Copies of this chain bind each other. A is one copy, B any other.
Amino acid sequence: MITIKDMADMLGTSTTTVSNVIHGKTSEVSQKTVERVEKLLEEYDYVPNNSARTLTQNCSKIIGVALKSRKEQYDNILADPFFSELIGAIEAEIRSRGYYMMIYTSNDLTELIRNILTWNVDGLLLLGILHDDFVRIKSRYKKPVVLIDSYAPRDIMNYVNVGLEDERGAFEMTSYLLEKGHRRIAFLADNMEGVDYTRYVGHQKAMAKYGLKADEKDLLIIRSGMMERESSLEELYYLSRNYTAFMCCSDYHAVVLMSYFSDRGVRIPEDLSFTGFDDVLLARIVRPALTTVRQNITQKGCLAVDTLLKMIQEEDQPKWDVKLPVEIVVRDSVKTISSYGSHEHIEMKTE
């Protein structure tokens, strides 16, 4: 690894001159010197030491990306295609903009904060973080932060969020199910805060539009590890008798349940309809293909990075809250129920 000083010595010039050439401050250097320096630069393929640069400039060119899973615990959050697609998009965008990405999937907030500070990251992208955590981070970290899919009380703290029309997405999906004649709809969520809560609100509103009330007992919370535990799946299977449709807050859940249920003899969508959220690769591949709420994951990742870089470069004040559009994608996992009153599904199960 050749350094600026090495080259300066070789050329019999000062480090300043070499540094100036490197940074294109060529107006202050004679043409001849420029050429000599550039020749060396090429010859030795000079690469700057970023630690040294960071130290003097107090800017690291690192973007920190922190994920907390929607579930309480995840053994491997990247196994969820929503997150892996999003991270993939973010990484590509960060790189193409000349920055570096450092990623943390830990749920340990203290460790996360230490990482951010120790590397002096220039900006932070926070996925699925809750309000309290955000406040704690903000109290220690003063550089730009962009949230993705966060719902914090706006009045308490200024923040920039790249989100989704979660409420509208759920509203339209539930409306669609209701149009198709479904009345006994289970709503599956990971928790009752942030994204999932907002989607539930949309669900409730659609129900209300039809003069129905979303009952709390129809709200099924998928706790950590449930999707991997046979007993939990079994329980959901028994509960499924009460419904004609499962409306899920993520494609992943929908698809896992569809598999399990169909192995148990449930015909989809004849016996039970399914809808998802996100329109992940999985949703397109599975059969019956999943009717779901599409979001453009790549766009979301790129927009978040773009917004963060704008803040870092102080180009302009970004919008504090963006809600990316959603779109219902009708595929084959929802049945049309002709007569509203008959709970065909239930009768079949309780034969």
Contact = CB atoms under 8 A, between A and B. Distances in A.
B77 A88 contact: yes
Q: How many copies of the shown chain assemble into the complex? A: 2
A305 B81 CA distance: 23
Given A105-B95, A106-B95, A119-B100, A259 B284 contact: yes
A119 B140 CA distance: 25
Given A78-B87, A79-B84, A103-B103, A118 B262 contact: no
8 contacts: A49-B55, A50-B51, A78-B87, A78-B88, A79-B81, A79-B84, A259-B285, A282-B285
A115 B88 contact: no
B89 A85 contact: no
A106 B287 CA distance: 33
A92 interface: yes
A33 interface: no
Contacts of A105: 88, 91-92, 95
Interface in A60-82: 60, 76-79, 81
A297 to B, nearest CB: 9
Interface string A24-59: 000000000000000000000101111110110000
Contacts of A1: 117, 120
A100 B115 contact: yes
A209 interface: no
A10 interface: no
Nearest to A65: B103
Given A76-B298, A255-B285, A286-B286, A120 B87 contact: no
A103 B101 contact: yes
Given A102-B102, A255-B285, A259-B285, A120 B84 contact: no
A228 to B, nearest CB: 11
Interface string A82-123: 001101110110010000111111100000001101111000
A281 interface: yes
Contacts of A192: none
A285 B281 CA distance: 13
Contacts of A263: 287
Contacts of A54: 51
Given A51-B119, A76-B92, A77-B88, 5 more contacts: A91-B105, A95-B106, A102-B102, A263-B287, A287-B287
Greatest chain B CB density within 10 A among A87, A88, A289, A298 is at A88
A127 to B, nearest CB: 14
A221 interface: no
Nearest to A78: B88
A256 interface: yes
Interface string A274-318: 000000011011110100000000100000000000000000000
A213 to B, nearest CB: 34
Nearest to A84: B84
Given A1-B117, A91-B105, A101-B102, A79 B286 contact: no
Nearest to A54: B51
Nearest to A115: B100
List 5 A-B pairs, minimum CB-CB distance, nearest first.
Answer: A78-B88, A84-B84, A76-B88, A51-B54, A51-B51
